[in-house]
């Protein structure tokens, strides 16, 4: 299926699906948190390397606008319904990267596999000045994690890699992520390193562009990539995934010892 939407529209869709009893009350964007972006380019399309995740087409989100109705094309493809999961299940399960060229919010060397060993890892690429899909996705994950049983919650790690490292310093990332959940892990590095890691996972990422008016435009894929305990991709969640979908799926994911056998 395909859907034409912009980041703000995708975020609104997700919010409409959110249950009434929604946690994460601490997230209240202040004027300082709001983006200073220029209008997004109408009909912008970003291609995804489907071979890497064996998904024909996936989600592309361009968090680059100031609220116009112009959007980007979102295409949802791949296998769904595996084990009742609500995301896109890739045919080939790519290995989890180490991201060892990046650092944590304190500037210490980072190793994704070591930091999340034994847990189900939910990885997202975004930035703190994102107007819509980034904060909404983090709020939805926080809401879902606060609803599942504690033994399920303990087995989940959420990792946020900034796509705007010049502005997202360690303190900025820490402060922003704490609005959602203090356990969320922030990761940063040089843009070139982040872009290489993102694109190796099939997540498109364009360098932040400074516009004539001084605003900054950023375009990036907005899927949540989930890795099983065997350090391989298990499922992909696209923008618009509801809090209830996450609540339903997380117990299934944590109950799996390592994920399904790779498909041939």
- Is there a domain that residue 238 lies in? yes
Averaged over 36-62, what is the pLDDT? Answer: 34
Name the nearest CA neighbour of 110 among 48, 44, 170, 55. Answer: 170
Higher pLDDT, 180 or 23: 180
Do 220 and 238 touch, CB atoms closer than 8 A? no
Would the annotation count 220 as a binding residue? Answer: yes
Longest CA–CA span in the chain (Å) reads: 52
Does the model's pTM come out above 0.85? Answer: no
Do 224 and 124 touch, CB atoms closer than 8 A? yes
- Is there a domain that residue 264 lies in? no
Domain tally for the chain? 1
Structural domain that includes position 224: 2-255
Q: In the chain, what percentage of residues exceed pLDDT 70?
A: 66
User: Which CATH number covers residue 144?
Assistant: 3.40.30.10
Q: Mean pLDDT in the chain?
A: 76
- Is there a domain that residue 242 lies in? yes
- Is there a domain that residue 263 lies in? no
Q: What tokens were used for 232? A: 């391989």
What is the distance between the alpha carbons of residues 9 and 67, in angstroms, rounded to a whole number?
Answer: 9
How much is the pLDDT for 213?
Answer: 84
- Is there a domain that residue 102 lies in? yes
Angle between helices 133-147 and 7-17 (to 10 degrees): 20
How much is the pLDDT for 2?
Answer: 28
β-pair partners for 181: none
pLDDT in tens, 66-100: 333 332 223 333 344 566 899 999 988 999 999 99
What is the distance between the alpha carbons of residues 230 and 9, in angstroms, rounded to a whole number?
Answer: 35
Q: Based on DSSP, count helices (H) and strands (E) in the chain, helices before strands.
A: 8, 12
pLDDT in tens, 166-181: 999 999 999 999 999 9
């Amino acid at each position: 299926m395909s859907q034409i939407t912009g980041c703000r529209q995708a975020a609104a869709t997700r919010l409409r699906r959110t249950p009434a009893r929604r946690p994460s009350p601490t997230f209240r964007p202040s004027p300082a948190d709001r983006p200073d972006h220029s209008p997004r380019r109408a009909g912008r399309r970003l291609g995804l390397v489907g071979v890497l995740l064996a998904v024909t087409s996936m989600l592309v989100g361009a968090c680059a606008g100031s609220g116009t109705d112009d959007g980007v094309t979102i295409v949802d493809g791949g296998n769904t319904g595996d084990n009742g999961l609500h995301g896109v299940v890739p045919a080939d399960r790519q290995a989890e990267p180490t991201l060892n060229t990046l650092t944590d919010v304190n500037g210490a060397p980072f190793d994704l596999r070591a930091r999340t060993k034994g847990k189900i890892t939910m990885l997202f690429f975004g930035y703190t000045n994102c107007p819509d899909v980034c904060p909404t996705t983090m709020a939805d994950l926080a809401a879902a994690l606060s609803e599942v049983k504690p033994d399920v919650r303990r087995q989940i790690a959420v990792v946020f890699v900034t796509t705007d490292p010049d502005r997202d310093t360690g303190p900025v990332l820490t402060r922003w992520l704490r609005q959602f959940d203090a356990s969320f892990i922030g990761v940063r590095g040089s843009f070139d390193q982040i872009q290489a890691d993102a694109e190796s996972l099939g997540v498109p990422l364009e360098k932040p562009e400074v516009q004539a008016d001084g605003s900054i435009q950023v375009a990036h894929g907005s899927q949540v990539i989930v890795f099983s305990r065997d350090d391989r991709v298990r499922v992909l969640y696209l923008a618009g995934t509801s809090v209830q979908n996450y609540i339903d799926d997380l117990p299934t994911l944590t109950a799996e010892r390592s994920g399904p056998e790779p498909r041939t």
